[in-house]
Amino acid sequence: MSLINEALKKAQRQRTEDPVVVVQPAPGTASAPVVRIAKRKDPMAARTLVLLVGGSVALLLMCGVVTFMYLGSETPPPAAPAPVAPVAAVPTPPPIAPLPAPPAVAPAIKPADPVVTVTLPAVTPVATVTPPPVAIAPTPAPVVPVTPPRPIALVPTANPKVYQFLETLRISGIRVSDTDPKVIMNDRVFRLNDLVDRPTQLRLIRVDTASLTFADATGYEYQKNF
C-alpha cells in the first residue's frame, strides 16, 4: 500500500510542476511580454506507472496467499516411535517338590450331653368371665283408667224359627228327676242346658211332667206342651 501511495503522490507532483515560459518581446517593440505555459506531458505515463505498481502489489498478495495455503496443507510427518528397550530374560526357578501331606487324624468324638426332660405344669385355661347382662326395666307407660262400657240391656224377643222348630220336634220319652232329668227328642237324648237346635241356639232349660221349657240366645223362653 505504501508503494501505491508514493506512485500517486509522484504523479500529482508531475501535474503541478509544469514549467511556465515567459517570452520577452523583441527589442524596439512596445508590446508586453507574453507568458507561455509549457505543454503538460502525456498523462498516460502516470497511468501506466500506477497500473504497474498495482499489478505488482496484487501479484505479491497472491503469492503470499498461495504460500500460506501450501504451508498450511502440509502435515508434519509422524514422529518415529522410540526404540523399545530389550527385556532381560528372567530365569525360571526350578519346580518345588510338594511336601507330603500329614496323615489324617480322626476327630475326637465328644459324648453327647444327656437329655434332660423337663415336665411343665399343665396350664389351666382361665375362663373368661362374662358379666351378666344388665336388665333395663322399661319405663312403665302411664295407666289411663278405662271406663268399661255400660252393658246394653237386651230385650228378649221371640224368634219365629224357634216356633217352626218346636212344631216339628218329636218327643219320644221323658224322665223327670231332680238331679238328672232326660228327654228323648228326634231319637236323641238331651239333658238340661244341652243345645237342641244349633241355628237358633235353642237350649233345654227345664223338664216337667206336662211340658218342656226352652230358651234361645237372647233369653226368650219357649214352652212345649205334651
User: 144-189, pLDDT tens digit by residue?
Assistant: 667 767 666 567 888 999 999 999 999 999 999 888 999 999 999 9
- Grid cell 508590446 — which residue? 31
Cα separation, 39 vs 15, whole angstroms: 11
pLDDT class for 194, splitting at 50, 70, 90? very high
Region of 172 (left: φ > 0; alpha: ψ -120 to 50; beta: rest) is alpha
Q: Whole-number mean pLDDT of the chain?
A: 74
Q: What are phi and psi of 199, to 5 degrees?
A: -60, -40
For CA atoms 186, 188, 193, 197, the dihedral sign is negative
Quote the pTM value: 0.34
pLDDT class for 112, splitting at 50, 70, 90? low
Residue 53: name the closest of 6, 110, 92, 103 by CA.
6
User: 26-55, pLDDT tens digit by residue?
Assistant: 555 545 554 454 455 555 666 777 788 888
